Amino acid sequence: MSELLLIDDDQELCELLCSWLSQEGFTVRACHDGQSARLALAEQAPAAVVLDVMLPDGSGLELLKQLRTEHAELPVLMLSARGEPLDRILGLELGADDYLAKPCDPRELTARLRAVLRRSHPAAATTQLQLGDLAFSPARGVVSIDEREMTLTLSESRILEALLRQPGEPLDKQDLAQISLGRKLTLYDRSLDMHVSNLRKKIGPHSDGRPRIVALRSRGYYYSL
């Protein structure tokens, strides 16, 4: 049974979501502010976090930044009452694995959580992948370039692994979204592009300046040789 940490100051919503998610087989701890959430995380790391953008003692985005520093691979799904594009972009830039606007359908939230948890617990361990000066351990979510190690988020790890498995060959955006997000992209959905952008910043270009990850307009991405 997967344990979730739900961080939202709307106590009525938390009660509803806790009840729904419990019926779906999850164990849920709820926190209503950033301070109690930090204490809960220090006590025991959950399988995934559902985090609201707006908290009474600070921004959920600031808490997300801390999570990505201390728990890089912990799956995080962001919620926002506003659902504004800027919130979504900032959340994804800071490393959120997925994003839903409130009010959200509990069934969609459940589906998104199950998808991210499936990706965080692969069926079998994967050996290290090596391509040129880049070495990647999918099991650890760590990429090494010239002895410099970087920890990737869950979505970034899945993207890089998929691209490294077929270097030089384009991978369709929808296929890559299914692998990395556990779902197909909807119209105007830039989630995949934001994850790829974050990944590019982390791993940088080849030593000769060529981009490691190349975008093909309206098609997808590939890892350059």
Dump pLDDT digits (tens) for 182-193. Answer: 888 888 788 889
Higher pLDDT, 102 or 40: 40
Q: How far apart are CA 89 and CA 69, in angstroms?
A: 19
How many other C-beta atoms are found inside a 10 Å radius of the C-beta of residue 106? 15
For 19, 79, 175, 200, 209, the CA distances from 50, given in Å and listed in that order, are 15, 7, 25, 26, 38
What's the pLDDT band for 87 if we cut at 50, 70, 90?
Answer: confident
* pLDDT in the model for residue 124: 47
Give the chain's mean pLDDT: 87
Strand partners, 223: 213
CA nearest to 157, candidates 72, 94, 216: 72
pLDDT digits (tens, 9 = 90+) for 1-30: 689 999 999 999 899 999 999 999 999 999
The domains found in the chain, sorted by start residue, are 3-120 (3.40.50.2300), 129-223 (1.10.10.10)
Lowest mean pLDDT among 73-77, 89-93, 117-121, 162-166: 117-121
pTM higher than the cut 0.85: no
Q: How far apart are the first and last CA of the chain?
A: 42
